[in-house]
Structure 1
């Protein structure tokens, strides 16, 4: 699952943390990539959102802060996993405006090790070109099977460099819009994967917990 949770605040400005926990319990994803998740920031009452969301399904998590909020608070990306996380590194992407990052984790699934990235790209098109080039280099360095997901803030046309190495689950099962909640017309949230994976299904789940909709792919791996 990839989901921009909008700080666990819905479009009516209500706290949606419990609703997102219930969504995780209902959909039962094994790996989750989250954008705009906060930790100990005053805006969300100093709650550790990644920890709370991971606890909804007894998952482990890794957090990749992008922006500091308040004395001890952060805003960024997270990966939640039912599988052990053996390694985690947060990469700062070239950012002219709001700082953007990409969180890389190495997970041990029953078939072996895989690498999972979660990222949230900028709003400026030229900025995204640079960030996508950086993602391309990160993916090219990987020896493990790769999943790259997140809010890319763009259409498929700008992701062509990544399509040379990765497949797009959404393009296989139809380009369902993921943004915005009140008038969904843009697909900007993606799950991309390397050739070792087979995607058997994809849904854009119903949820009113954010300004984005969550995307869930059914990925299977043959050999690692």
Structure 2
């Protein structure tokens, strides 16, 4: 089964220009242009707390005509519910939020409560696809907690499996080593050179990733030069057994 997966930090649909305006429709058009089957989103606004707390996720899902799931990580002042999201052309069998614990003591730097999105998707392959997604923190103690939670989820999950998101680390950061030990890096499975993902106007680092279990084959990987967000999306065509 061949499918296209995109991971994209959409920066709350804030366009990466001088105005920094929020434009959900423009973000949706960028996503639609690449015709992904599955989309992992980071920095998604959920809107007001309550039954309609999945604001931007549902707006994008309606625009694209596909299913959506919002994984709230926290509630930010002036923003509301905030976290990660999944958009899918395939049925989402189940999805849940796995909390990432905050460090017990906060040092210097920006801290934000994070989460892991865990979903099972019926993609038409022999077995359902397990999808894990997250947006890791900026400080090391948050990153360590996030890697610990993600690694445990990977070890306990059924294959085939993909893990995607903005991990806020370059590939040489030793904190990220467990991810490379447990899964294969889609960018390294591709024959081309490593493509940078941030910042989108002049990218000089790779902090957005797609990992996959060994049974999945990478056919094409692309990091298109679009500046709807301050991150570039990562898009990969996968062959699911």
Would you say same fold, with TM above 0.5?
yes
Question: 1:156 aligned to 2:171?
Answer: yes
Instruction: Return the offset for 1:165.
Output: 2.0
* Cα pair distance change 1:94/1:60, threshold 3 Å: same
- Counterpart for residue 106 of structure 2: none
Paired residue total: 219
RMSD: 2.0
- Give the SS at the match of 1:207: coil
- Give the SS at the match of 1:212: coil
Instruction: Return the offset for 1:71.
Output: 8.9
Question: 1:78 aligned to 2:81?
Answer: no
Question: 1:4 aligned to 2:9?
Answer: yes
- Counterpart for residue 94 of structure 1: 101
For each residue in 1:47-104, what CA deviation from the matched residue of structure 2 results, as whole angstroms up to 9, or x when unmatched?
8110111123211111111121469931100011001011111011133321011110
Instruction: Return the offset for 1:41.
Output: 4.8
Q: Residue 17 of structure 1 is aligned with which of 12, 19, 24?
A: 24
Contact 1:41 1:70 in 2 (8 A): no
For each residue in 1:123-180, what CA deviation from the matched residue of structure 2 results, as whole angstroms up to 9, or x when unmatched?
0123212321221111000123111000000011332211222111122333211111
- Give the SS at the match of 1:129: helix
* Cα pair distance change 1:37/1:144, threshold 3 Å: same
- Counterpart for residue 208 of structure 1: 227
* Mapping of residues 31-180 of structure 1, within 5 Å: 31-41=38-48, 48-69=55-76, 73-96=80-103, 97-111=111-125, 112-157=127-172, 158-173=175-190, 174-180=193-199
* Cα pair distance change 1:98/1:70, threshold 3 Å: closer
Q: Moved runs in structure 1, 4+ residues, more than 2 A?
A: 69-73, 94-97, 171-174
Tell me the distance in 2 between the aligned counterparts of 1:68 and 1:130. 19
Contact 1:39 1:48 in 2 (8 A): yes
TM-score, normalised to structure 2, is: 0.85
Instruction: Return the offset for 1:40.
Output: 1.6
**What 5-or-longer segments of structure 1 have no aligned partner?**
none
Tell me the distance in 2 between the aligned counterparts of 1:169 and 1:88. 23
